[in-house]
Amino acid sequence: MANQQDFILKPIANAAAALNLANDATQNEIAAAATTAITELTNLLDRIEVSDPTVIPLIPEWKEASTALRNIASSQGSELSRRLMESTNGKSKPVIVDTDQGPTVCTPRVSVTREFDRDEVIRAVERATAVQENRINPDGSGELLDYDTAKVVLFKKVFRMEPRWTDLKKIGVDPNEYSERKTNYTVQIERANTL
């Protein structure tokens, strides 16, 4: 029984110890302590069995906490990467940073995403179909494709095509011949209203 108690109580004691901060704790100390406590407690939650009536109200809170932690990590990581990129003159190269846990190698990365108006891009591709060079058959024959065929070829070339399984069924294509179904269970939990 002592093993079971240690299994549960040790992470709780570790989390409590981490949060035993002085009144004048710095923001860095608070962040490190909170992270240690969160890590200890999430590891514990991952190892214990919880009854359905208890877990139902906890799942939304876990999801909210997970989203908040993901946003914090993303925001802090983005700011750190920006500062490191400034220190390396915009180069994505490793930087050694002295941390509380010793020297750590950090390699900043930058990625660029695009926000776009899908309808405008579709119209631009349709206009590009009228240009003769864009209608040359890609099979290397040198012949010009008719407008509609060239448009289909260009759309396949410039847009990612993903199957829509319901629409495939509607045109008589059996999705089971081309895919394997995998089941993933999720639950949506909302508080019930009382009358």
Tell me 71's DSSP state: H
Per-residue pLDDT averaged across 117-142, rounded? Answer: 92
Is 155's pLDDT higher than 90? yes
Tell me if residue 162 falls in helix, strand or coil.
Answer: coil
pLDDT tens, position by position, 23-39 = 999 999 999 999 999 99
Q: What is residue 192's predicted lDDT score, i.e. its pLDDT? A: 66
CA distance to 52, 104, 154, 156, 180, per residue, from 183 (Å): 21, 40, 35, 30, 10
Q: What is residue 62's predicted lDDT score, i.e. its pLDDT? A: 95
pLDDT tens, position by position, 5-61 = 677 788 888 888 889 999 999 999 999 999 999 999 999 999 899 999 999 999 999
Radius of gyration of the chain (CA): 28
Q: What is residue 130's predicted lDDT score, i.e. its pLDDT? A: 92
Q: Which of 156, 159, 163 is CA-nearest to residue 138?
A: 156
The pLDDT confidence band at residue 110, using thresholds 50, 70 and 90, is: confident
Q: What is residue 190's predicted lDDT score, i.e. its pLDDT? A: 67
Q: What is residue 120's predicted lDDT score, i.e. its pLDDT? A: 94
pLDDT tens, position by position, 159-185 = 988 889 899 899 999 988 988 888 777
Q: What is residue 4's predicted lDDT score, i.e. its pLDDT? A: 66
Mean residue pLDDT of the chain comes to 88
Per-residue pLDDT averaged across 94-122, rounded? Answer: 87
- CA 80/CA 96 separation, integer angstroms: 13
Q: What is residue 8's predicted lDDT score, i.e. its pLDDT? A: 79
Sign of CA dihedral 110, 71, 34, 65: negative
How many Cβ atoms from other residues are within 10 Å of residue 76's Cβ?
A: 11
CA distance to 8, 31, 40, 65, 191, per residue, from 59 (Å): 20, 24, 18, 10, 12
Tell me if residue 181 falls in helix, strand or coil.
Answer: coil
Sign of CA dihedral 115, 163, 144, 146: negative
CA distance to 79, 82, 91, 108, per residue, from 111 (Å): 13, 11, 13, 10
Residues above pLDDT 90, as percent of the chain: 50
Place of tokens 């490191």: 84
- CA 144/CA 136 separation, integer angstroms: 5
